[in-house]
Chains A and B, each alone.
Chain A
Amino acid sequence: MSDIADRVKKIVVEHLGVEEDKVTETASFIDDLGADSLDTVELVMAFEEEFGIEIPDDAAETIQTFGDAVKFITEAA
């Protein structure tokens, strides 16, 4: 697994308090990992800080799963 994926996973695990093996490629933050809408905003904020990037609101809306997050950050970082 790439370094980016590891770091994203760490944030998700810490923030949502879920088991690491639940954070799969297709795991949806809201449907599978129990996030509410505010959690998703906070996750995006955490990604921005961890990777020093800006994630605009319209892009943030497309980040629904762990895989989406890794893909977006890989392209942006």
Chain B
Amino acid sequence: MFDLTGKSALVTGASGGIGGEVAKALHAAGAKVALSGTRVEPLEALAAELGERAFVCPANLSDPASVEALPKAALEAMGSVDILVNNAGITRDNLFMRMSDEEWASVIDVNLTASFRLMRGVLRPMMKARWGRIVNITSVVGQTGNPGQGNYAAAKAGLTGMSKSLAYEVASRGITVNCVAPGFIATAMTDKLNEEQKAKILTQIPAGRMGAAEEIAAAVLYLASPEAGYVTGTTLSVNGGMAMI
């Protein structure tokens, strides 16, 4: 099950905790992987760790030209792009009344608009191949809201609506579009929280612990697999029961 031999996957944010594990899981299932991110060093370290079938495709997702170039670079490196995982994301948290236009725009640009452009960029080869898998990493915050994250929640909820719309359009072409919505996962992004904040969050998680990046990667692997061909337009929540939606 979940054999990706012969498939090629582009993963954004592969220098981060979740993106790195996603790349590893897809690679372990036999896929070629194009690792994208802004910081080249961790990407190259990961590519070296993976060995064959791993390619480094740096991109700055806040730069439209860089976003447009990424699918082409991945296509050149791997020969095809069958799987796209939009994982890259940034936060610029602030209370709503204090949030600047810049904080709003930068999060929407990277988390929502870049994902749109990347999806548009990989559709042509997927349509021709009559096979494609797009997995967008959203967040429990896009489903429930979170104080201080109006921009981030808007981008993630926007990604969900966009995914469903595209899922309608391309379902007849063998292309699925789904989301994985992580809850609180132990990564650099959540390391910033202090012990008190973490303890408070844990009281709201029925599983009583934070999730691991590997647990997100497993959900992505499923949705990227041939076996998930009849699953589209959905969100798979991986949140320890924090929000049962």
Contacts and interface: CB of A to CB of B under 8 A. Distances in A.
State the majority secondary structure of interface residues on B.
helix
Contact of A45 (B127, B169, B172): B127
B173 interface: yes
A42 B124 CA distance: 9
Interface string A5-45: 00000000000000000000000000000000010001001
B169 A38 contact: yes
B222 to A, nearest CB: 26
A69 to B, nearest CB: 19
A63 to B, nearest CB: 18
B170 interface: yes
B172 A38 contact: yes
A11 B237 CA distance: 42
Nearest to A36: B172
Contacts of A38: 169-170, 172-173
A45 B124 contact: yes
Interface string B107-137: 0000000000000000010011000000000
Contacts of A42: 127
Interface in A23-77: 38, 42, 45
Contacts of B173: 38
B127 to A, nearest CB: 6
Contacts of B124: 45
A38 B170 CA distance: 8
A22 B170 CA distance: 26
A45 B128 CA distance: 9
Contacts of B128: 45
Interface in B118-169: 124, 127-128, 169
A38 B128 CA distance: 12
A40 to B, nearest CB: 12
8 contacts: A38-B169, A38-B170, A38-B172, A38-B173, A42-B127, A45-B124, A45-B127, A45-B128
A-B residue pairs, 7 tightest by C-beta: A42-B127, A38-B169, A45-B124, A38-B173, A45-B127, A38-B170, A38-B172
Interface of B: 124, 127-128, 169-170, 172-173
